[in-house]
Amino acid sequence: MTPGTGGIRRARPASRRRLAQASSILHREFYGRPTLMVARDLMGARLVRISNGRRLAGLITETEAYIGENDLGCHATAGRTKRTEVMYGPPGHAYVYFTYGNHWMLNVVTEREDFPAAVLIRAIQPVDGVLIIARRRNHRDTHGPGKLTQALGITSLENGVDLTNSKSNLWIEFGWRVADSAVTRGPRVGLNTVPEPWKSKPWRFLIEGWSLETAD
């Protein structure tokens, strides 16, 4: 902006520090635990995305656990491939994959290195940048794994990024503590051709009162 033009002053980009409440970013130790525990504890956590210098965030309201090569619903049942490689890496990284020819899915890698497991983030409730999110979603909701990635602008570019610091423009912070009485469990969604017992494992978690339109 040249002086004296009387133009509109563009807001100074917010500092990284302001965008990230640094102390509240979930550490690698949070992710390096049993996957079901991580999936449960992500209820109410804040998923944060920096997009064009703007902070977008939503409270996580629904997750699913995918645990190891023996879990026939988990991509890692195919073994260590180019696609599943991230799941074999250290916890706290993003595993992003594409499905149905249209949609990106965001997972967080859990457990110890070399044990392939992850938690699929299935729904968020927007809390920061809600106008931007609403516009990206054409004013439709963000309850659905493909919907929230669209809302936050998450694609294969985010596959493998470290979620435990603010450098990647994608991370998760402590959010609301959700009581056990408010957490519902059920079978995972969309595993139509997956055999039992994996198909019916109650490894889906959701906050009661949210995402109910997709509850079983």
What residues make contact with DNA under the rule CB under 7 A? 64, 66, 73-76, 78-79, 81-84, 95, 97-103, 105, 107, 118, 120, 137, 140, 144-147, 150, 156, 188-194, 214
Helices (DSSP H) in the chain: which residue ranges? 16-19, 28-31, 35-41, 85-88, 130-136, 145-152
Beta strand 103-109 with 183-186: parallel, antiparallel or unpaired? unpaired
Record the tokens describing residue 118, joined without a space: 């992850």
Please, which residue, 85 or 162, has the CB nearer to DNA?
Answer: 85
Minimum CB distance to DNA, residue 23 (Å)? 29
Please, which residue, 89 or 146, has the CB nearer to DNA?
Answer: 146
Q: Which of 123, 131, 121 is nearest to 55 (CA)?
A: 131
Please, which residue, 20 or 41, has the CB nearer to DNA?
Answer: 41
Minimum CB distance to DNA, residue 20 (Å)? 25
Looking at residue 128, its amino acid is D
d(CA 170, CA 154): 9
Minimum CB distance to DNA, residue 36 (Å)? 14
Q: What residues contact residue 123 under an 8 Å CB cut-off, 6+ apart? A: 60, 61, 62, 142, 143, 144, 145, 147, 148, 206, 210, 211, 214
Minimum CB distance to DNA, residue 104 (Å)? 9
Minimum CB distance to DNA, residue 164 (Å)? 19
Please, which residue, 142 or 164, has the CB nearer to DNA?
Answer: 142
Taking a C-beta distance cutoff of 8 angstroms, is the pair 183, 139 a contact?
no
Please, which residue, 95 or 205, has the CB nearer to DNA?
Answer: 95
